[in-house]
Amino acid sequence: MRLAGKIAIITGAGSGFGEGIATRFAEEGAKVIVADIDEVAAKRVARAIGGTAVRADVTSGIEVAAMVAAATESYGGLDILVNNAGMPQRAGPADEVDEAMFDRIFDVNVKGLYFGIVHAVPVLKKRGGGVIISTASTAAVRPRPGLAWYAASKGAVVTATKSLALELAPHRIRVNAINPVAGDTPMLKEFMGDGEAIRRQFIASIPLGRLSTPRDIANAALYLASDEASLVTGICMEVDGGRCV
């Protein structure tokens, strides 16, 4: 059991990568808070893995504070925060993204991380250490045309991760990110539509020849969350079949 006795919050855990991470962490002995803006989805996943569901919109400071408090109330503390909830951009020209969509992308992807830090770090400091992991994207480090604002938001997550790693190291809080390549989750059609041709073309650009799965991302998160990674901080790990090389 690689996370025996650890208490973890995973945001956006009602679907896709977050569900995969929640499931994998529970398999390895963690007590998991399954947080999602979609309460029905959070409850479904929590039931399946024996965790606790919390409805939390990561763009709300009040709801993120309540989410962090739920970890202490349910399990007595917090060891791991996974900032995974994300907002995609429908592929298209940067100048056609309206202000409301731009704001939503940055609110969920960047402000969501900010609120996670503001509310979880004091708890982790008091506990004497912990782990923060964010789901960024290969779009942050190898942006392609058509996803400019999404890529920029994930770039902010990558830069914040490195900066936070340095700042929080004296408190024994490790801060890392994962950069998944396109993954087979409900979010994928937002990025590439439903077309089979575009999907095949994208897969052809991945040297290992397939999209990522929730299990791939969960295995990376498990390593970063575990004591096996006790000297690893400030990295943004590509899980991308070689696409970013």
Interface segment toward ligand NAD; rule CB under 6 A; list 13-21, 22-30, 115-123, 218-226: 13-21
150 is annotated as an active-site residue: yes
Tokens of 119: 């509310």
Among 51, 155, 180, 241, binds ligand NAD (CB under 6 A): 180
Q: Which amino acid is at 158?
A: V
Cβ proximity to ligand NAD: between 127 and 244 the closer is: 244
Instruction: Give the strands of the sheet with 236-239, arranged side by side.
Output: 52-55, 31-36, 7-11, 80-83, 130-135, 173-180, 236-239
135 contributes a contact to ligand NAD by CB under 6 A: yes
* CA nearest to 186, candidates 44, 47, 41, 58: 41
75, 114, 150, 223: the catalytic one is 150
Cβ proximity to ligand NAD: between 80 and 182 the closer is: 182
| 236-239 vs 173-180, strand pairing mode | parallel
> Least distance to ligand NAD from the beta carbon of 180, Å?
4
Residues 6+ apart with CB under 8 A from 238: 138, 141, 179, 181, 244
Cβ proximity to ligand NAD: between 231 and 245 the closer is: 245
Among 86, 116, 130, 155, binds ligand NAD (CB under 6 A): 86
Please give the C-alpha separations between residue 148 and each of 88, 94, 95, 108, 174, in angstroms, as whole numbers.
11, 6, 10, 16, 29
Footprint of ligand NAD (CB under 6 A): 11-12, 14-18, 36-38, 41, 56-59, 84-87, 108, 135, 137, 180, 182-183, 185-188, 191
